[in-house]
């Protein structure tokens, strides 16, 4: 692969997709709230605890990437297969964290709109990002990636 094409060529960069999903969810919640949880629950606190967990997983994954000296951005080339840290449990822990983040927002703001965004983001990630990343990694690394792929689940 040449350096100019040494990237997974994803449909949309995941942080951009997530920001769009959050913005749409907040707007729809403002226009037409869809609460789903009992009001006596400490919703904001539960949401914040989940959001903290999300940030910890993302930090752990980013640190693991940095220690492996590979890139985290989907627009850049991958220089190594990372199979330690959270990548020993999931091939996509950052995307798992993003979905959990949407659940955190759904709970904190008591809004079903965030679950709608979660479904949309799942399909965007699964087919527009992860499928392309997997094809890229298979072509770039071959057997070592296929071995990792056979041992570690895509999500959890």
Residue in this structure with the two tokens 């993003």, named with its chain if needed: 98
- The mean of the pLDDT values for the chain is 96
> What tens digit of pLDDT does each residue of 53-83 get?
999 999 999 999 999 999 999 999 999 999 9
Q: How far apart are CA 57 and CA 17, in angstroms?
A: 19
Alpha-carbon torsion 127, 130, 134, 137, what sign?
A: positive
| pLDDT of res. 2 | 43
Segments making up each domain of the chain, as ranges: 35-151
CA 21 from chain center: how many Å?
Answer: 13
Percentage of residues of the chain with pLDDT beyond 90: 97
Local structure of 54: helix, strand or coil:
helix
| pLDDT of res. 100 | 98
> What tens digit of pLDDT does each residue of 88-109 get?
999 999 999 999 999 999 999 9
Q: Please compute Rg for the chain using Cα positions.
A: 17
Predicted confidence band of residue 5 (pLDDT cuts 50, 70, 90): confident
| pLDDT of res. 4 | 52
pLDDT of 1 higher than 60: no
């Amino acid at each position: 692969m040449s350096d100019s094409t040494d990237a997974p060529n994803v449909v949309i960069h995941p942080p951009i997709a997530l920001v769009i999903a959050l913005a749409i969810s907040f707007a729809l919640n403002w226009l037409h709230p869809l609460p789903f949880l009992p009001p006596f629950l400490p919703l904001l606190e539960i949401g914040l605890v989940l959001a903290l967990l999300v940030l910890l997983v993302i930090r752990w994954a980013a640190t693991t990437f940095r220690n492996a000296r590979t890139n985290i951005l989907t627009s850049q080339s991958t220089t190594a297969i990372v199979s330690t840290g959270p990548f020993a449990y999931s091939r996509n822990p950052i995307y798992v964290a993003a979905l959990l983040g949407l659940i955190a927002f759904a709970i904190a703001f008591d809004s079903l709109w965030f679950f709608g965004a979660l479904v949309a983001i799942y399909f965007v990630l699964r087919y527009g990002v992860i499928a392309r990343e997997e094809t890229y990694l298979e072509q770039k690394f071959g057997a070592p990636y296929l071995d990792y792929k056979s041992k570690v689940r895509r999500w959890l």
